[in-house]
Chains A and B, each alone.
Chain A
Amino acid sequence: MSELDLATTTVTELAPLIKSKKLSIIDLTKQFLQRIERYNPALNAFQTITAEDALKQSRLLDRELRADKWRGPLHGIPFSIKDNLAIRGVKTTAGSKQLADWVPSYDATVVEKLKSAGAVILGKTNMHEWASGSTTINPYYGTTANPWDRQRISGGSSGGSAASVAASLCLGSIGTDNAGSVRHPASLCGVVGLKATFGRVSRYGGVLGTGGFSTDHFGPFAKTVKDCALMLKAIAGHDSKDPISSREAVASYTSAIGKSVKGLRVGLINGYFDEFMSDVVRRAFETAVEQLKALGMKVVKLDIPYTDLIAAVQLATSRVENVATAHEYLRNSARDYSAPLFYRHIKSLLIPADVYVTAQRVRRLICEAFEAAFDKVDVMVAPTVGSPAQTIEECQQGFAIVDGKRVELQEERGTTGTLCTIPFNVTGLPAMSLCCGFSTQGLPIGMQIVGAPFDEARLFQVGHAYEQAAGWYRRRPKLD
């Protein structure tokens, strides 16, 4: 298989080749490891490369195939894992100085499930420090560059995961999403990123302090919607190690893929997202909505109350829940946090308990309002991020010029880049980002498709129909 093929191939394409033994897993793994060796120094997507383990696992999986044991469509497929998810025997830093040398003795459930499905894990990916930001400019492990333009950020906090998939250093990755940390980098890197319904994917084995107890989700990155569906099928389901995980039956996520979307109702939320969209994102998003209409979907405008309070609820909830796990570090190694994160934790300690409870009361109103809206629509769509990827320099200076105006990248409500994604962390609704166009500078733009609780199959149905009609997924970054 040539280099060009590796750059464009998908899980869906490779699975039958592996199953029919036309492709050896050990050869495939070696080629991806060579690709990592070639491109990772410039991208810094991988923080730890587990080549030896990957080769050992590949040989085992090849032996199984020779004995006619095929585990399923992920058998022999190369993946990466965000560095706040435990892999037994592999350093897991969470992008932090405090955990620089921590080696877990257990696997996170998502890792265990991927391994059981036959995945070959190539390594751990770089991330924003403690998953607490959206640039993946990490003071300890370096910056992950965007494969579409290395002067720009990959997004975050799962920036390394998104970049590793966009650059075809692997075919899928698992990240975590407390405020948009899967969908934001997926949008900036032009790949598919999914945060399923709250409770759909076990969070056992995630590093505490990298997300709020009630706002954080784990989810897959992939090049296509179908690959994403295959990954969700492998990692979803109840887990006795995570009491918050759902007992809802896991659906057949690929069965709806390819079905017509004609007659389905797509909701557009009035107001909330307008403020955040740059001109280029607005044009791409509006064009995408026209394409959904051309596929036969009916557009329904939605007025959802209380959206102006989403940022306050997210702030009070996720920051309080997060800092509640940080006392040991605040007591023993507080100065090992970067200064902005240390100060943020102190501010979180100043949020009174009654404000946290009030936030959960307002959150109920928001959740009920969104769920009521799903009586009128089958899915909603929204932009993922208001602007394409900023330059690393803009992020370091703290502002960017967008449409001739100065935009602060950190504002009083939180990180500007995640204001479009947090509604679905507050509500726990499933949301998937996929590419809906490119800027004139060749930077990807993302659109979220949002579903009713546990209706991920609908997201895949609509996402796949749009993806095939629009064709953006065929465009890949030039790395040389």
Chain B
Amino acid sequence: MEDQIRRLSAHYGWNLTDEEVRRIAAEALVQGKVLERLNQVDLAQTRPIMGVFKSRRATADKRGQK
């Protein structure tokens, strides 16, 4: 993780200090643990939402018929 951050720092020209790199890496590890939970779901039959709004219209139309 620290190497990745150093590469980004070099790419963008941030000149991050070692202390900053260590701090961001530690926080990124915590973030990674939160995101890891997404992989615990069985998504074999699930496609990503690509057009949030379109699915909402269909539902609203259906409800409008009540």
Contact = CB atoms under 8 A, between A and B. Distances in A.
Q: Is the interface of A mostly helix, strand, loop or mixed?
A: helix
Contacts of B10: none
Contacts of A454: 56-57, 60
Given A198-B52, A374-B63, A306 B41 contact: yes
A214 B54 CA distance: 12
Among B8, B14, B20, B52, the most chain A Cβ lie within 10 Å of the Cβ of: B52
B4 to A, nearest CB: 6
Interface residues of B, number: 35
Nearest to B50: A360
B56 A343 contact: no
Contacts of B41: 306, 309, 361-362, 365
B59 A330 contact: no
Interface string B24-61: 10011011011101110101001111101101110110
Interface string A325-352: 0000011001100000001001101110
Contacts, number: 118
Contacts of B24: 343, 346-347
B12 A364 contact: no
A170 interface: no
A452 B53 contact: no
Contacts of A358: 38-39, 43
A215 to B, nearest CB: 9
Contacts of A349: 8
Contact of A360 (B30, B49, B60): B49
Q: Is the interface of B mostly helix, strand, loop or mixed?
A: helix
What interface size band does chain A fall in? 35 or more
A453 interface: yes
B38 A316 contact: yes
Interface in A307-335: 308-309, 311-313, 315-316, 330-331, 334-335
Given A309-B38, A360-B48, A347 B28 contact: yes
B31 A412 contact: yes
Given A309-B38, A313-B38, A361 B59 contact: no
Contact of A363 (B31, B35, B48): B48
Contacts of B48: 357, 360-361, 363-364
Contacts of B23: 343
A104 B41 CA distance: 45
Contacts of A334: 12, 14
Nearest to A372: B59
A355 B38 CA distance: 8
Contacts of B53: 198-199, 244, 246, 428
**Top 6 A-B pairs ranked by shortest CB distance?**
A360-B48, A453-B56, A199-B53, A454-B60, A453-B60, A364-B49
Interface of B: 1, 4-5, 8, 12-14, 20, 23-24, 27-28, 30-31, 33-35, 37-39, 41, 43, 46-50, 52-53, 55-57, 59-60, 63
